[in-house]
Amino acid sequence: MQHFDDFDVVIVGAGFAGLYMLHRLRTLGLSVRVCEAGSGVGGTWFWNRYPGARCDVESMEYSYQFSEELQQQWEWTERYAAQPEILRYANHVAEKFELCRDIQFDTRVTAASFDEAAGRWRIKTGNGGEFTARYCVMATGCLSTANIPNLAGLDTFAGRWYHTGHWPHERVDFTGLRVGVIGTGSSAIQSIPIIAQQAEHLYVFQRTPNYAVPARNAPLDPREQQAIKADYAGLRRRAKTMRNGIQYPVNEALALEVTEQERRREYEARWERGGLSFLGSFADLLVDRQANDTAAEFVRAKIGEVVRDPGVAVALSPRNTFGCKRLCIDTGYYETFNRPNVTLIDVNRAPIDGVAREGLVAGGKTYAVDAIVFATGFDAMTGALRKIDIRGRAGTRLEEKWAEGPRTYLGVATAGFPNLFTITGPGSPSVLTNMLPSIEQHVEWIADCILHARERGRGCIEPTLAAEHEWVAHVNEVAGGTLFPSCNSWYVGANIPGKPRVFMPYIGGFPRYVEACNQIAADGYAGFALA
């Protein structure tokens, strides 16, 4: 008989991954408990409430497809959904499938260790709770651990400071305030235009300029939505044939094999269309340096056309590889630097020295501000797992095993840690794709894998070291054939001091990855050992 705090599966996190994992496992008749640090569901969309927070994947695609009824019922209002709407959607899903009864909120998992004798995971929480479970699924998110730079004097700051990924639930109004934003990644690029409209003055502290393409967000025409829903399965099917799991036209031509005029026409059309489809302009953009330069040059020219002060335009113009950091999608970002109340500070010329009572100090000068916004990103892909004391066989700590970088089989499991699964973990396409279909694919695969072990009466399933080595080598080899590792991005952990430099996601593309996962399952979970 099961003890009340013993489950078949404990899931960590109630974002989109945890919610669907719970639903799927419950459907199979398993007992499940979800531990969630926040006081509500939604993960990323629960925490990232900063002004302008919006998804850069179109709403008709950034949604679950496991339930036809759900995808037919839900009505999106904009081409790109804003954070409050996505959070409403997450809550709607939780309600529709009665998920909250198995979720324990305000419960942060602090430790998980595998008890070899019992063949079970012991999971400890920050509020003194303890569970045991045959399986543990980490649905902890790829971008959930805030990176807050260790700035001297922050504790002496007289104003308020925020991190975009941990935004307060109450409305933050910057009207009449002097604000400093640190960072110019996606979160900054979305929030800066809105903060600038409110603030008396906004200082933007930039370390590396980023490429941003217009979103061209607009209300979603109900007729267009209806047309998509009439063949939703078709859209989903087509999207799954795309490298990043998002449906947009991909030009198979090579940038260097067309005339300059044709190239320009293609870039202009994509610029007008808006969004991530710009990445589909030419097939060689991310593999050929010269091809890449043509896209980079096009965006730099656009920045020059928009930003009136030539010095500011140059400072805002990236020089690194186009697209090897996550492409940003903006609404009025570059235009914001034409406002008289916005000042760009290049921290390469004037490094941030620290924080004083009255503001930010950079290059020896104090910028008096009433509020600081850290738009400084996340300890991506491994940060949330590193925060939990995870111990596998013989008490081995995951952090130790991953000291030189994450090592997984398919990004779903790691040798020496039986019955532990990671949804969209390092070594899977995850952040390089539309997260929702990637999450669904992992959830379904993991559920099938658990079922496979149970049906055979086996208590433990884990990857072999040989299979893991082979997968890690493949992940590295594929990344090495692209321009991706050339930037100091969070994909390689470069934003976190001391983090090993390893390209973490799998760049082989969603279709190839899914095929590999399916083949492994069809071969009786090849590369996994059952005990």
Q: Phi and psi of 310, rounded to 5°?
A: -60, -35
For the record, the structure tokens of 495 come out as: 């934003």
Note whether 183 binds ligand NAP by CB under 6 A.
yes
CA 223 to chain centre: 31
Among 329, 388, 450, 453, binds ligand NAP (CB under 6 A): 329
Q: Using the 8-state DSSP alphabet, how is residue 82 labeled?
A: B
Q: Is 341 exposed, middle or buried (0-12, 13-18, 19+ CB in 10 A)?
A: middle
- Neighbouring C-beta atoms of residue 203, cutoff 10 Å: 22
Could you say which residues in the range 415-444 bind ligand NAP, by CB under 6 A?
A: 431
Of the pair 125, 489, the CB lying nearest ligand NAP is at: 489
Residue showing tokens 């110019």: 184
- Dihedral, CA of residue 316, residue 248, residue 216 and residue 207, to nearest 10: -20
Q: Is 140 in the site for ligand NAP (CB under 6 A)?
A: no
Task: Give residue for tokens 């089989």.
Answer: 409
Which range in 53-61, 85-93, 173-181, 394-402 contacts ligand NAP by CB under 6 A?
A: 53-61
To the nearest whole angstrom, how small is the minimum distance from the Cβ of residue 86 to ligand NAP? 10
Binding mask 82-121 for ligand NAP (x = CB under 6 A): ----------------------------------------
Residues 463-502 that bind ligand NAP (CB under 6 A): 490, 495
Stretch that binds ligand NAP, among 14-22, 34-42, 176-184, 230-238 (CB under 6 A): 176-184
Say how far apart CA 426 and CA 386 lie, in whole Å.
Answer: 12
Residue 186 near ligand NAP by CB under 6 A: yes
Choices 52-60, 154-162, 447-455, 464-472 (CB under 6 A): range interacting with ligand NAP:
52-60
- Nearer Cβ to ligand NAP (136/182): 182
CB nearer to ligand NAP: pick between 73 and 77: 77
Q: What is the 3-state secondary structure (H, E, C) of 213-271?
A: EECCCCECCHHHHHHHHHCHHHHHHHHCCCCCCCCCCCCCCCHHHCCHHHHHHHHHHHH
Closest approach of Cβ 214 to ligand NAP, in Å? 13
Of 192 and 450, the one with the shorter C-beta distance to ligand NAP is: 192
Q: Which is nearer to ligand NAP, 147 or 281 (CB)?
A: 147
Cα dihedral 164, 87, 496, 181, rounded to 10, equals: -10
Of 226 and 348, CB closest to ligand NAP: 348
Dig out the tokens for 305 from the structure.
Answer: 């056309």
The minimum distance between CB 50 and ligand NAP, in angstroms, equals: 8
Alpha-carbon gap, residue 202 to 135, rounded angstroms? 49
Distance in angstroms (rounded) separating the CA atoms of residues 265 and 259: 10
Residues 6+ apart with CB under 8 A from 100: 41, 94
As beta bridge partners, residue 34 has: 11, 103
* Closest CA relative to residue 19, chosen from 66, 55, 61: 66
Q: Which of 136, 114, 63 is nearest to 446 (CA)?
A: 136
Residue choice 40, 43, 377, 527 for contact with ligand NAP (CB under 6 A): 377
Of the candidate spans 54-62, 71-79, 336-344, 458-466, the one that interacts with ligand NAP by CB under 6 A turns out to be 54-62
Of the ranges 133-141, 232-240, 373-381, 475-483, which one interacts with ligand NAP (CB under 6 A)?
373-381
The distance in angstroms from the start CA to the end CA of the chain is 22
Which residue number places its CB atom closest to ligand NAP? Answer: 185
The residue type at 314: V
Which one of 164, 244, 419, 433 is in contact with ligand NAP (CB under 6 A)?
A: 164
Smaller CB separation from ligand NAP, 205 or 525:
205
Pick between residue 29 and residue 497 the one whose CB is nearest to ligand NAP.
497
Residue 43 near residue 24 (C-beta atoms within 8 A): no
Query: Which range touches ligand NAP (CB under 6 A), out of 6-14, 300-308, 369-377, 407-415?
Result: 369-377
104, 34 contact by CB (below 8 A): yes
Structure tokens at 83: 């954070």
Q: How many residues bind ligand NAP (CB under 6 A)?
A: 28
Of the residues 140, 145, 184, 331, which one makes contact with ligand NAP according to CB under 6 A: 184
* Shortest CB 115 distance to ligand NAP, Å: 36
Which tokens is 233 given? Answer: 């399965």
How far is it, in rounded angstroms, from Cα 25 to Cα 361? 52
**Residues in contact with ligand NAP by the rule CB under 6 A:** 54-56, 143, 149, 164, 182-188, 190, 205, 207-208, 326, 329, 347, 352, 375-378, 431, 490, 495
